Amino acid sequence: MADGQAVVDAVRSKMISTLEASHCEVSDLSDGCGAKLDMIVVSAKFDGMSLIDRQRAVHEALEEEMKTIHALTMKCKTPAQWEKMQSAS
């Protein structure tokens, strides 16, 4: 069984290094084992990409980590979309 915080840290680090995420929130929803994650990723690399292509990019970046993650929900936003969301709340 994986350590949930280690999985969260690895996923966050991978999003920053691979997708150059300007903002990344990762939450472990699996009671500490790291098998079920919820994530918000903000990256300029998402500009011009469809939602499915953004999700594919995340899955490709997390290829190794996905071997231990059983469920991943994600919101993939561009910096402009993220800014708009923040100003609306």
Q: If the chain, 89 residues long, is cut into consecutive pieces of 10 residues, what is the mean pLDDT of each piece?
A: 85 97 96 92 98 97 93 97 92
Helices (H), the chain: 4-18, 51-61, 79-88
Q: Which two tokens stand for residue 36?
A: 């079920």
Measured distance CA(47)–CA(17) in Å, rounded: 17
Q: What is the pLDDT of residue 2?
A: 65
Residue with tokens 């990344």: 24
Beta partners for 40?
Answer: 25, 75
Q: What is the pLDDT of residue 34?
A: 87
Residue 76's SS3 state is strand
pTM of the model: 0.91
| C-alpha neighbours within 13 Å on the C-beta side of residue 32 | 0
